[in-house]
Structure 1
Amino acid sequence: MQTDLSNFIHTIRGEMLTIYSEQDLIAAMRDAAEKDTDMKDYYWRSWYFARKRFTKEDQLLAMYLYDTKDHLISSYRYNSVTYPKDIYKAEYDDNSDRVYDYVHGDRTDLMISGYHNSVAKKDIVRFVLKLHNYDADRNALGYLVCDINSAAFTSIMAKYVDVEQVCLWLQPLNDRVIAMTGEASESQRRIQKQLAKVVQSHYKSGELGQEYDGNYLIQVSQENYNLEAFVLVSQSLLTATQKTLIRTLLIIMGAMILAIMVIVLFVSQWMTKPVEEMSSTITRIKDGETQLRVQPVGWSQELTTLGTEFNEMLDRMQVMAQEELQHKMLVERTEYKMLQAQINPHFLYNTLDTMSGIANAQNCPMVSGMCHSLSAIFRYSLNMTDELSTVQNEMAHVRNYLYVMDVRNGSTIAYDYQIDSDTLADQMPRICIQPVVENALTHGLRNVRRKDKKLLIRSEHVNENLVITVQDNGAGMDAESMNRLLDQNDMKRVESGISIGILNVNARLKRLFGEKYGLHIESTAGEGTTVTITVPAVSTENSGGMENV
């Protein structure tokens, strides 16, 4: 309420100050004050000024402009019958003596007073503004009086008084009441009249008590203006209001607590929803839906990172599972093919041994040796009791194979064996060297027309690895393309049986020992090929060897 009242008073004061924009009028008042000139030509100026500067909401009822000698210069009256032509010549008490005392006193602030117009039957709020020169001396030019309908104030005050047993009024210090509202009881009206007389008679702000016959008095000064607001409230109403206020506060607190709980629940669900979705997805993946992936979205960077890393882990696991399945299928197919080859192996072994004995008895050592070597080759190839063998056994197998090939094709190749004795007991998968040697004979040396065909087989330790080298001086090959196939390690190509030679050997070595092991090829067209087999150096004492030929 204070703000609304202060704004309204400030608006009226601002509109009154705009009289300084009437420059010709101010100049004439200055001349009249200094030279006592006549101001009759400005009699209607108040009427024009009121119409131009004030609005309907201001409820301006009358305006009077006086010079320094209290002579009326101009006036405006909403109704010329009910409002005096001159406040100093009114037929009833219009409280003009207060205006006179203010104008001829030392006060420079805006004066607020009031009176009751018995003709119009209205309470009037009177504003008085002294007019001065805007120079160093600030000489007086006169003063402006504006009478405002008290209803403009009571309409503002009524918005804040909507209960019974409340009396609210405005009263300038040492002056009469200018506005009052509220549904006051008889006792409150009596108390209000008594208090209003006290305020009107040499009262200073804050001198009144607080309790009067079961009523509580609240008084508030209006800043910047000589005006006080008084509220007389029944103590029973205050008590009821206090209870209502407490109840309202409790309801508000309860609503706030409920709202906070809802917000906390919502935030909690929002924060835990990504975790719950991730947990649900993990459960479904565990139940067999391995193609699912979590949504790496959450309220924190950590959840997003966790989801992303989890998806990457699933991808890696799926790749590893597929590789493991491929390896398993390769082993199963290899075993199946080996089982197919094991058609009554003992019958085959015994037959070859018998042929060897007959050939030896018939003085045919070449046939006897060939049968013996073939028997040893079949025994070694079809022995599935252990996937791993030794360098010594592998070399015995290679020697038997080369003997058979020499008998078939004639001995046209010079063999050089550089086998380090420290490597003989090292473990390596079965049938790894022979396919490489076979590849050298078939693709490297067979169709080469040269008399110095050579094949070197070397075994040595390099750092912690066993390195076996098979080198020929044959036709050579496209080493770059072949190494690319070895690095790709295409299991489908191996499983399909397209290659049962060096690609098969490379696939088995990588499956057993890891990707950094296997075969590597170096070759120069027309000069030969070098195939390097690299496996971890693991020594074992294995007395079960094959017979050398």
Structure 2
Amino acid sequence: MMRLFDFLKLHQKWMLAIFSLIVVPLVVYTYLSYTKMADLAKSQTIQLAEQTTQNTASELGFLTASSINALDFLSLDRSMNEMLSREPANNDIPLQLRDYANIVNFANTLQRNKDFYRIRLYVHDDFVYANDHINLFGMSQASREQWGNELIHSGQTAYWFVPGKGEQSGGTPPLVSVVRRMLNLDNFTLMIGISRIDILQSTLTDKLTRTKITDTGLVYLQNARGQIIARSDPERGSDGILDAKEWQSLPANEWNTRHIGNKSVMLSHRAIGKSDWMLVTVIPVNEVLAGITALRDQLIAILLSIVLIAYFLAYLTSKAGTKKIKYLIKRMKRVQSGDLNVIITRYGKDEIGELVENFNFMILKLTGLMNEHIQLGIELRSADLRTLQAQINPHFLYNSLDLINCTAIEHKVPDITTMVKALTKYYKLGLSKGMNIVSLESELEHVKAYVQIMNMRYTDAIKLAIEVDSPLLSCRIPKITLQPLVENAILHGILEKAEKRGTIRITGKQDRAAVYLYIEDDGVGMDAERLSTLLDYDHQDPNHSDNGFGVKNTHDRLRLAYGDSYGLGIKSEHGKGTSVEIRFPSDLDYEEE
């Protein structure tokens, strides 16, 4: 911790000390107070919600138990079972009408329960009373409904469901229903009907609405299949409804905190007996904390006021002691960015003044050394280039090539003649009568001559495609810029392929700032590690000293001539090839050295 303190600036240390003594204790106190009050509010809310939820769960459990008991009563009543077990063909109409009256009286008796909306029985279609469409319906109608098939395949004694829209048309209010198969008491393998009890969804909604303890809270019933049975706010649609898998993964009868969208909520779920329903209660945390939010905001406002005052005091105190030091630091940062015109003319006689005086002496010394180094570098590069050119005696070279050509003609060896002519053209273009800056057209001809020579050596292994627009051909560029790059593409790209054949494509474009040339090959390419060191002398691989020297030298020549924003850019992918971008100015006049 002390080591970190040593790296802080002086004014930061002053401000840190003041903040540590004033602001930090207040922040901690505010945080602990708010946390304690928030926990208390949550605890009280959970206690109230738990009580109301338990009461609602008990009411719903009583309702579902009453419904199941009523269904059991219908299914196990002996007289009812005998009436529905009769064969319609063996019973005359008067008997069936008498049975109908008894069945309706039976249903009306059960229907007196205030929570039941309707009692329905689905019986054999051949009974004359099978379709009164009030209490009695044909079995075929149940088989056409989705719930009828689900009842048969569910294997459950009682099956709860929400009727589809087709069943609730014609002014029928939204319902929640439970059905049970009625079996022949003398032969349990025979189903004689289906009993059904309909409950108004509004009955459940009223019970759930009374369970809410916050304005935007939500209480709803959801079955294990994820189907919503009822909810406290039907007009809100599916807003706030959790996926069934989410609450099923949580412990029942416990309160948990989760996020729904961008809202934090507390939720709990508990099972409703005699059904597959879950009573889910969702309470937004922001409503729970609404009572203490205003107090929290007041504490934060007071805290911010104290922070501003503390900051102002710390600023004045630190500014008085660090003004000169900051001024010196600003000048040092200008030196870091390359600006050496930073001599300080006003400084005192104290320790800081002595430091400034030493700083001025260092800058003057550094400026002289840099100017000397730059001049030395320029002279050294120019000397290297001239030394390389001086190694070739043009007159001696041309006379020797002319002698070889005459000998080839005399001995009728046309291949040698072609080679000598290409070589003569190559060197003439390379020497360029001593000029250092040549046209792009001359450079491209130089490359063509070089590729022709290489194709004679490697039996037309290299295909050269030049796609440069005519306006670019007059652009001026340092000579012998393209040839080292083409050479590198051939020797270390194409000829390292298994088939030792490939294509080099040269393209170009121009904008107001620069000319861009692209040399692309389909050679072996290189990996990222090799590519990262290609333009860096200090990281050249000694095992590949011949690979990339000409590329690096070309890059340095362009930067030396035009500035650091120009030069080469290289992209490569191992096994797919390499692309080199050459950037040089398009709107400058260059003087020959």
Shorter-chain TM band: 0.3 to 0.5
TM-score by length of 1: 0.39
- The one of the two structures with greater contact order (alpha-carbon pairs below 8 A, sep at least 6) is 2
TM-score by length of 2: 0.37
Structure that is richer in helix per residue: 2
Determine which structure has more spread, i.e. the larger CA radius of gyration.
1
